[in-house]
Every structure is written in C-alpha cells, then in structure tokens.
Structure 1
C-alpha cells in the first residue's frame, strides 16, 4: 500500500471515472470478474491476455477506495461502539445508583413500619397484662362475694327458726332478700365480665402474634435489603443468577404491602381501644358493685338495728308487764288466802244460823211462823255462803 501511494504521487493518475461511477463492463474488467474479464486465453481477434494501463489504474483505485470505505466504516463502528459502551456504562451506573437509592428508601419504609409494629406489640403486651390484672381483680371480687352471700342466706335460714308469733316477714327479711338477690346479680355480672376479659385477652394475643409475624418478616426483609444495599461492583459475594428477574405470582405490590401492615395496625388499634374501654368498664363495675354492696349492707344493718330496738322495746314492755302480772298474781294469792280465812271465819256464824233455823223448825202449830227472824236467818246463810 505504501508503494502504491508513492507511485500515485509520482505519476498522476489518468482522469478516470471513480469505481462507484464506472460502467459495468469497465468495473468487471478492473475487478477481473464477470463476463468481461481479461484473464485466461486471449479473446479471438479482439485483445491480448495482458491488462491495459487504464485497467491497472482502475483496478488499483477500486482496491484503494474499497479499503478506504472499509476503514471508514470500521472507524465509525469503533466510535459508535465506544460511545455505546460509555452510554451503557453510565446507564448501568445510574440504574445501579437509582436501585441503591430505592433500596435505601425501602429500608426506611420497612424501618418505619417495623417501629410501628414493635410499638403496637409492646402496647398490646402492656394492655394484655393490664387486662390480666383486671381479670384477677374480678375473680377475687367473685370469690369475695361468696362470703356476704353465705352470711345473708345463713341469716335467712336462722330467722326461719323463729317461733310462730315472731315468724313474720319484717323489714329485716326484705332487706336480706334484697341483699341475696343483689349478690347473685353481681356474681352473674362478674362472671360475664370475666368472660369478656378472657375473650379480649385472646383477641389481644392473636393480634399480637399477627403483628409479631409481620414484624419478624419485615426484620428478615430489612436484613436482606440491607445486605443488598451494601453490594457494589467490587463485592466478592455477587454472582450470576439467570432466573432472578422472574416475578413470583404470589408477590405483593407496594400498595397491598403497605395496606397489609396498615390493616394489622388498625386492627391492633381497635383491640387496644376495646381493651381500654373494657378496663374502664371493669373499674366502674368493681366500684359500683362495691358501693351497692356497701349500701345494701348498711341497709341490712340498719334494719337489724331497728328490729333489735323494736324487740328490745317489746321485751322491756313485756318484762314490765310480767313484773306487774307477777305482782298481781302475788296479790291475788294473798287475797285468796284472806278470802279462805274469811270463809273459814264464817263457819261459826253459819253453824249458829243453821242451828237456829233447825231448832225453830220444831215450833209447834201456829208458832211455826214466818216471822222476821225466820227470814233473817236464811239471808244470813246466803251471805255467809257467798
């Protein structure tokens, strides 16, 4: 090629048509191909087997222009490939940086949700512990209500043994029946509240487990994404994974992913609110039942006090009347003795009167007269007999 360039510079080339503008016949001759080739035996009566100088120059220029065109095409391809390599490298760097940034944003989102879930789990644990304490208070209150109930029932049974004149349905019995009915209602209320507390504790633990599972998944995902965010082009752990770009059919979208955690948090918040309301209700129930029992106990004690006062007053009056009656009986006994003595003292006059009547019955004839003395003696007998 260098000798050809020197030759071209020493001897100017004839004015010929460029290869791209040659006729087919001349081009075939220059390329020594086609129907117009001059190789082989000389044509019959037309020309010899040697090339002409023009043909030699045409062939030379054809090779030169072909080499120039190939070199130019190669340079363009080289520049384009270099430019493409630079663009792809910059695009890969930008894509990798954007992917790293998005992984970092994902880590922030997971850390935020993870913190919220951890806070909800801690609140559920604390609230469940509070409910367990309230449930223990309810159970102790239920056990303690058995004592006043047994006292009220024993009091009613003891009062059934009163004698018939005193076996009355008084105010004390009414208050004792009220107290027994109140205690039974309170016991039923406490049992229902204990069941509500048990169910709420079960729901709290279920949602706690759900939040813990979600939190555990996010911790694992956070560790994976944190490891992925630390990878770079110089990392030794990276390798080819041909099927890593395949998406799983069960994979969630960012919207469903966020909605899943939001639903868990909302359910946990609802259970926390229900638990707080239940604890407030338990406090109110314990306070109100204690006040009701205390008021009913005071009413029963007041009824017993008034009934005891009535009985003491009646007993005092009966004792007074008993003393009077006993004194009257003594006086009557003395009077009976006096009357007996008086009767005994009347025996002599009675004998006298009866003897007079008997003797006067022996009067003869007309002398047997019903005179004043005769009538006076029977009167004296009657008075003495009375």
Structure 2
C-alpha cells in the first residue's frame, strides 16, 4: 500500500514553494522522518520528511515545479528497502522527471552516466550539477560537507581550486550545456532564478522604491578590539566553546547606540512610527542559495559570548539549509559584514520594514594622524544606510560616532557608556 507524501505547512502566510531537490530516488529505502525532498520557500529551504518507513515510490512533481501546501509530491511504498529491484519498474510515471534531472550530467564524464543521481553519496542538486559541469570536476572525487554527506557548490569550487590542472576537462562542456554556442565558441546559459533569489530581488527593489535611503560613512580604529581579541581569544574559546570574533563587539556596541537613538531601531507602519524597547539584530549570513538574514532575539540582553554562539550556529545551519522559518522573521536592525569577502566600502540596502542597516567592511592598515603623529593603524570603514523619512542625518552620524567610540574603547561596552 502506498502512502502519499504531501507538502507540509511552511509557515504563516506561505502557501507555496518550489521543489529544489529530490533527496531520494524511486526504489531507495527510506526511514520514518528521513528527508526525501528539499523545498525552496521565500526565505529558507525546508526538507520534507517521510511519514512512514518503506521504499521511495513515484515522484509526482519535477525539480523546479511550484507546489502548494498540502499537495501530494510523491508516494512511499510499504517495505524495508529489499524490494527496491521490484519497485524499479514502477517509476514509469516519473520517466520524464528523473531523466530530465540526470540527462544534462551524463555526457560530462562520458564514462559514468548514472553518477549524478545514484553513484554518489547523495543526489546532486541543480546548482551543484551546474558547478560540476562548469569546473569539469568528477563528483565521485569530491567529499561532501553538506547534510548527510551531500556535495555542496562550495565543495565543487574547492575541489576545482585544488586541481587547477583539471581545467581542460571542461572542454566537453559545450555538448552538455543547455545553451546555444556561437561559431566563436562563446555561449550563454539561462538558469531560472530560485524562489529565494526572486524574493531577495523583490524585497530589495521594494526597499529602494519605498524608503528615502541615504548612507552615511565613518571609519573606526580596530586596534583596541584586535588587541583584546588576541589577548583573550584562547581563554574565551576554552570557557565558552566558541571563537571570539568581531561581530560580538559590533552587535553589543550597536545595541548600546540603539538605546540612545531609538529612531534607528524603529520602523514606519502606515502613518505611525513604531519604537521598540528591545533590539532584535538581523545578521546577514551567506548560504548556498543566497543571502539569508536570521535574527538574534533580544541581543541587547545577551553577552558577547552568547551573541557569538548564536551567530556561529546561524552560519553553520545556513550552509546546510536547516534554518527555521521563524528564525528569519522580525528583526529591528541589521548588521551586514561584507568585510569577510574583502569589501572596502559599500552602501547596504535596508531590510524592510527596518529603517537602518549597518555595513562592516574589511580591516586594512592605513596611515592616520594620532596626536599629531602619522601612524599605521588597522582601520575599517563603517556605513549606515537609513530611511531618511524617519532618521535624520544628525541621528545617523551620532549613531556611527557612538559605535566608533565603543569599538575604539571596548571598556565602554563593559560599563555601558
């Protein structure tokens, strides 16, 4: 007897999702609550668990299809995995979806056509499959760091970087790329935007169209924080089990500045201004599907260690796609650290309905004047983008100065000054 697998409830106001990846193929043995598919929503990826133990039956939808909450996407047949061979003929219904996913990858190796779907530790997602074709990497030689040993796009990129000599292997790519190659060898590829990327684009453009955005800059001498980090990082990690980074200092300093300047922590709803007596800090985290912004709840009540633990947990779970929907909601102020990617300066876009976002950038040695002397100091540019409808220039500048003072003299964070 077959059991239907339906799209679970995805969260408040979310009625549909896109099937991003099949984690189980017809004939595979599955256990109760074992993930069989990954759905892409507007904010995060959600795994669909198997309601029963048995053998994976037919796929009712293809990767890239839009499915509504409650819709049937597959069936699970009774069994313990042994009848897999007998079940193999069953997916006649899914003859179209399965080859559609496997076909583009077959010619890449010319020797192992089934590798993309069955011979690896897990099925390759569309983005990983494209990366394999692009870099000419054999997925069988790549060690997966994703959930359940799945290969991620970052794994493929790292493998390609480690073997520069393998680049010529990408030569057969024109035969498999779904693109039209010109006589000169140039080609184009059209890839449908993921639901997450579509949502990011929509929200960012909405912010530009709605808010009167302006960006104010300042710079900060990181000497004191770097020295404190170097002095206490080992003791800190030993006691708290997490590395001492810079985000903990900036988050605490931002919370202090938000208390002094409540409009930076406020939002506009209709013709009303909503002031918050708490600081829920959204932190921009990079994941395989794009930028996600989980929220540190009541960050103003947390210690630096608690903030670092929370951010570290967000980063790990963003990579394996296990962030929960409720962890992405809310937030009164955002911190985005482009410095980890080498950014010198930027004008970040606010995250509606928030009214401000703080952009951090890379630290570099620069010549500055201190007490009449030219010295070399590790400096960082700070950028505050804000909604000028609510926040005046004076308040924006005052916020950055308060943040600068706290970072350049971390004792202020300790004594709440």
Structure with the greater alpha carbon radius of gyration: 1
Shorter-chain TM range is under 0.3
Please identify which structure carries the higher strand content: 2
Q: TM-score, normalised by structure 1?
A: 0.16
Q: TM-score, normalised by structure 2?
A: 0.16
Name which structure has the greater RCO, CA cutoff 8 Å, separation 6+: 1
